[in-house]
């Protein structure tokens, strides 16, 4: 729930149902959305101290994402908007991750990125370098050609026998490890694009080789293995980020998306900013992984411009900027 650009409430219904399957099961995700959506909206209203009749517009994610889950949100937004006679605003999930940098709670006033800025958006489904010219004008200048950075974390974690989602697990182990003990090759990809599928394969072969010599290799070295994997992912990301920030001569750089919660990445980008005289913007943890506040924030920029969606709108699993 947002009033202007001030956040009144932000609730997430966690979907622990996926844990035992080692990944998100789309059918279960949409069912959980259907069950959770009314209670979560109710909770957000109560916590914000807002009456249903006070709501001026409803923002919703049109895409990209899992179709079943998007359908639940889009249908809810349409019904809500129609019942209340209020406008609705469609939001692009990846743009919302970036615009999370503008969310402020009452009394908060730390500096927001200045336009144009360069944002590295890293999540479970996407890895993009985005030149952000204004809240409504963004250009993807590079992206992954295969796996996303979050997928690289999750798939590596799976190879190590760690539970889903693996990103936060790798992060925790890596904090206790030595990143220089095990190193993995970097891909040679042109321009500002990324690739992570080769990393997964090299980790798999590395583990198979080491486990032949010592069956307990993973258990004994989990911290150092995670530190090595995490450092490789961060280096792949930041090498392109640095090149792009120099090329586009931006003064502000930012990270967004689920993987921006990674402590190693947060530290590394802070250092990169200090070394190059760039102002670094790192979202608070609560706005890194998927959340409603970022959708409301992105919606409020369009609302201010009078850009609304109509009742015919349909979700898009893949959605361009
Ligand atoms: O943005 P997000 O919540 O959902 C998508 O839109 O995909 O991102 C989820 C991804 C998962 O791959 C998860 O493992 C990763 O973000 N993630 C992390 C961390 N926290 C979440 N990866 C590395 N370190 C973390 N601390
Ligand atoms: Zn996301």
Nearest to 100 by CA among 269, 319, 258: 258
Q: What is the pLDDT of residue 87?
A: 98
What is the spatial distance between Cα 150 and Cα 148, in angstroms, rounded to a whole number?
5
Does the pLDDT at position 180 exceed 90? yes
- Mean pLDDT, the chain, as a whole number? 96
Quick check: bond before 116 cis, omega within 30?
yes
**Ligand lying closest to the C-alpha of residue 95:** 2
What is the spatial distance between Cα 75 and Cα 169, in angstroms, rounded to a whole number?
35
CA 221 to centroid of ligand 2, rounded, Å = 31
Q: What is the pLDDT of residue 5?
A: 83
CA 93 to centroid of ligand 2, rounded, Å = 6
CA 62 to centroid of ligand 1, rounded, Å = 20
What is the spatial distance between Cα 125 and Cα 122, in angstroms, rounded to a whole number?
8
**Ligand lying closest to the C-alpha of residue 257:** 1
DSSP string covering 118-187, please? Answer: EEEEE-SS-EEEEEEEETTEEEEEEEBSSS-HHHHHHHHHHHTTPPSSHHHHHHHHHTTS-TTSS--PPP
Q: What pTM value is reported for the model?
A: 0.96
Q: What is the pLDDT of residue 24?
A: 86
By CB atoms closer than 10 A (0-12, 13-18, 19+), residue 240 is buried
Nearest to 137 by CA among 100, 98, 194, 110: 98
- For a ligand 1 pocket test, name from 258, 261, 291, 293 the mutation site with the most ligand atoms within 8 angstroms of its C-beta: 258
CA 122 to centroid of ligand 2, rounded, Å = 8
The CB density around residue 10, as the number of other CB atoms within 10 Å, is 20
77 near 58, Cβ under 8 Å?
Answer: yes
> What atom in ligand 1 is closest to the CA of residue 148?
12
Q: Give the model confidence (pLDDT) of 4-44 as tens digits.
A: 889 999 999 887 878 888 888 889 999 999 999 999 999 99
Question: Which phi and psi angles does 302 have, rounded to 5°?
Answer: -70, -40
Structure tokens at 294: 């970022």
Residue owning the nearest CA to atom 16 of ligand 1: 258
Enumerate residues 6+ apart whose C-beta is below 8 A from 266. 255, 260, 282
Q: Give the model confidence (pLDDT) of 252-295 as tens digits.
A: 999 999 999 999 999 999 999 999 999 999 999 999 999 999 99
Q: What is the pLDDT of residue 304?
A: 96
What is the spatial distance between Cα 252 and Cα 174, in angstroms, rounded to a whole number?
28
CA 97 to centroid of ligand 2, rounded, Å = 7
> What atom in ligand 1 is closest to the CA of residue 157?
14
Enumerate residues 6+ apart whose C-beta is below 8 A from 171. 153, 226, 230, 261, 262, 263, 264
Q: What is the pLDDT of residue 155?
A: 96
Residue owning the nearest CA to atom 10 of ligand 1: 124
Q: In the chain, helix, strand, coil percent, each to 5?
A: 50, 15, 35
Widest pairwise Cα distance in the chain: 68
Q: What is the pLDDT of residue 199?
A: 96
Q: Give the model confidence (pLDDT) of 193-235 as tens digits.
A: 999 999 999 999 999 999 999 999 999 999 999 999 999 999 9
Q: What is the pLDDT of residue 19?
A: 81
Instruction: Give the position of tokens 């490789």.
Output: 232
Q: Give the model confidence (pLDDT) of 106-129 as tens digits.
A: 999 999 999 999 999 999 999 999
Work out the percent of the chain whose per-residue pLDDT is above 70: 100
CA 86 to centroid of ligand 1, rounded, Å = 33
> What atom in ligand 1 is closest to the CA of residue 97?
1
Pocket of ligand 1 (CB under 6 A): 123-125, 150, 153-154, 165-168, 171, 257-259, 261-262, 289-290
By CB atoms closer than 10 A (0-12, 13-18, 19+), residue 23 is middle
Q: Give the model confidence (pLDDT) of 224-258 as tens digits.
A: 999 999 999 999 999 999 999 999 999 999 999 99
Length in residues, the chain: 321
Structure tokens at 227: 């530190």
Q: What is the mean pLDDT of residues 70-82?
A: 98
Residue owning the nearest CA to atom 21 of ligand 1: 258
């Amino acid at each position: 729930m947002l009033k202007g650009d001030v956040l009144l409430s932000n609730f997430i219904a966690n979907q622990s149902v996926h844990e035992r399957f080692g990944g998100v099961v789309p059918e279960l995700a949409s069912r959980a959305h259907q069950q959770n959506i009314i209670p979560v909206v109710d909770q957000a209203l109560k916590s914000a101290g807002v009456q249903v009749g006070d709501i001026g517009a409803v923002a919703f994610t049109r895409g990209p994402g899992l179709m079943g889950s998007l359908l639940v949100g889009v249908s809810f937004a349409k019904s809500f908007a129609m019942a209340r006679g209020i406008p609705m605003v469609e939001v692009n999930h990846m743009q919302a991750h970036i615009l999370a940098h503008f969310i402020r709670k009452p009394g908060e006033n730390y500096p927001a990125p200045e336009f144009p800025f360069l944002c590295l958006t890293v999540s479970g489904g996407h890895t993009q370098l985005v030149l952000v010219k204004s809240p409504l004008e963004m250009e993807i200048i590079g992206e992954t050609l295969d796996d996303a950075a979050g997928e690289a974390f999750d798939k590596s974690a799976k190879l190590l026998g760690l539970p889903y989602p693996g990103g936060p697990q790798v992060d925790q182990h890596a904090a206790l490890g030595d990143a220089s003990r095990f190193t993995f090759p970097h891909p040679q990809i042109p321009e500002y694009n990324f690739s992570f599928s080769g990393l997964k394969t090299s980790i798999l072969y590395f583990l198979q080789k080491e486990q032949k010599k010592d069956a307990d290799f993973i258990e004994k070295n989990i911290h150092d293995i995670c530190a090595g994997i995490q450092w490789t992912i961060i280096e792949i990301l930041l090498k392109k980020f640095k090149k792009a920030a120099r090329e586009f001569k931006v003064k502000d750089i930012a990270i967004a998306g689920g993987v921006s919660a990674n402590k190693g990445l947060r530290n590394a980008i802070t250092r990169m900013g200090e070394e190059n005289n760039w102002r670094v913007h790192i979202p608070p943890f609560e706005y890194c992984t998927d959340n409603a506040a970022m959708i409301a924030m992105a919606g409020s920029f369009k609302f201010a411009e009078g850009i609304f969606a109509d009742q015919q709108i349909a979700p898009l699993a893949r959605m361009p900027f």
